[in-house]
Amino acid sequence: MLNVANLQKKLVAAFWKWFKAFRREVENAYSSGDTSWLDSELTNRVRAIEPNLNWEIGPYFDPEFTLVISPSIRQNIGLAKAIIHTAPQIAGWHFLAAKPPKRMTRLVAELPFRSDAEICGDEWCYRLTSYNNGEFFDIEIFTDVPSSIQKDDLFMLTHRLIEALVGEIVYLERIGAVTVYRPTDSRSLENTTSLRFLHEHLTGLIGE
């Protein structure tokens, strides 16, 4: 069984006590798109446990709700698992330690509150380089993005898309350097694969 520090244990217990009491309010806020309420009520409580933790609510088990405690950094994976280990049984709710792979009909990613920062990776491809017998992988991503997407935005969006495809645990534990190419960059497309197959490819390589 995973352990957390005594203070964190108290904060985790307080979080689940609050969540169980206010789950209807959480459901209503999520269903109505009240992100301000969710941010003010959930974010502070989750980050009080550890500042780098995050959360996500999604219909992963539609029509039931899912709360994800996101580790955000590799060092928090054990903590996120420990938090979920103590989650109460609540009808209509599932709890996950880290964001799972998303089923995506289109490979679209966007930055919150930035309508000008959105990419679609449907035509993108990638190339993997494996290290230490598949312990981790560097990825080269070959995009078709226009020059209107800024460099920093493109890098962040690409990372968000990779995480969405492979899931947060694999992203944090297995992905090393990510190199992003634009159509205007000098590049070779030999031995590349369509990006939509990244999850299947990695799963086969690491045996998960």
pTM: 0.87
The predicted structure's pLDDT at residue 123: 94
pLDDT for residue 196 is more than 50: yes
Joined tokens for residue 126 = 């990638």
User: Residue 65's pLDDT band (boundaries 50, 70, 90)?
Assistant: very high
**Buried (b) or exposed (e) across 127-156, using 16+ Cβ within 10 A?**
bbeeeeeeeebebbbbbebeeebeeebbeb
Note the pLDDT tens digit of each residue in 1-13: 455 578 788 999 9
Residue 50 CB neighbour total at 10 angstroms: 22
- SS3 at position 206: helix
Beta bridge partners of 121: none
Mean of all residue pLDDT scores within the chain: 91
Once rounded to an integer, what is the mean pLDDT over residues 157-168?
94
- SS3 at position 62: coil
